[in-house]
Amino acid sequence: MSLSALKTFKNPRAKYNFEGRSCSITGVGSYVPARVVTNADLEKMVDTTDEWITSRTGIRARRVAASDEYTSDLAAHAATRAMQKAGVKPEEIDLIILATITPDMPFPATACIVQQKIGAYRAAAFDIEAACSGFIFGLEIGQQFIMSRTYNTVLVIGAEKLSSIVNWTDRNTCVLFGDGAGAAILQNRPESHGLLTACMGSDGQKADLLSMPGGGSRCPASTQSVAAGLHFLRMDGKETFKNAVQAMHNAAKEVLRRCELDITQIKCIIPHQANLRIINAVSERLGATPEQVFINLDRYGNTSAASVAIALDEAVEGGKIVRGDLVLLVVFGAGLTWGAAVIEW
């Protein structure tokens, strides 16, 4: 949709931000590790089959980082590519927001380590933790700094090394997850609406559906916690599936309502890449066509906070999204958390 056509629709931010600037994504980048682990590889590790994994998840392969390749490394590679595409130098970055559930260490923030690796020494830097919803949460947080004129250039990254917290003997979870990172540069682009609106939500009553019990103040690392497998990801698959479909559908409908848009006016829908059945169920409820929905789940699996960011970069690189198109991002993650955003590209 052209910019002139978009102007006939409602920008829900306008009535709240009379002096604010719009915030656009001016560059995206992604990075995945070199090692590919296929379903055939997993057949040799756990009691599973390629047919079982593919039919239930849509995943055929995932990337796994090397033992000496950390979340900060994946994030730095993705950030560098986004900066190059946006024409931004390290010294121009004002703020780095890194979304992850697999930081290099509990502290300092992995964003600070990324700052050092990319040479963005004048930037403030911090991590956020909203699991698979983290990238959209990061976009919405970063946008506030652009709109308020506090900062001119914000780097938002979603990065995960989920292979470090996956139990590779648990066939129900190890088949689902992969490693990777995606990044976006946020700036004001004159005459562009950019990020039109976003919604975020959480339900802590369902926090136990997807979690890693060990490693925090509730259950510090010990011989007993390691032996009990408390430092591995745990998931109630059936309940997570049910809640994911409902939350993603509701979030998508809410952002479309705010902008007074119909799903047919969205050029590209990028859902969280967790499970093909979830994606299909949400798409069907929204009335979306297969041509509208971008999917790379089969090649990467669920990369949590990196998922939507990697897909967004690949959609842009593949020509699925061009300037002026309307894009819908929609996610769901542990917490429980969820979110959606409408963007004029």
Q: Determine the Cα–Cα distance for residues 255 and 340; give it in Å rounded to an integer.
A: 7
In a 10 Å sphere around its CB, with 0-12 CB exposed, 13-18 middle and 19+ buried, how is residue 263 labelled? middle
List, by residue number, the catalytic residues: 132, 272, 302
Q: Determine the Cα–Cα distance for residues 58 and 40; give it in Å rounded to an integer.
A: 14
- Residue 182: phi and psi, rounded to 5, are -140, 150
Give Dmax over CA atoms of the chain in angstroms.
Answer: 63
Exposure string for 169-183, b = 16+ CB within 10 A, e = fewer: ebbebbbbbbbbbbb
Q: What stretches of the chain show up as alpha helix (H) in DSSP?
A: 3-6, 39-43, 50-57, 71-86, 110-118, 134-147, 223-227, 237-259, 276-286, 297-300, 307-317
The alpha carbon of residue 195 and the mean position of all alpha carbons in its chain are separated, in whole angstroms, by 16
- Which residues are within 8 A (CB) of 229 and not within 5 positions of it... i.e. 6 or more apart? 167
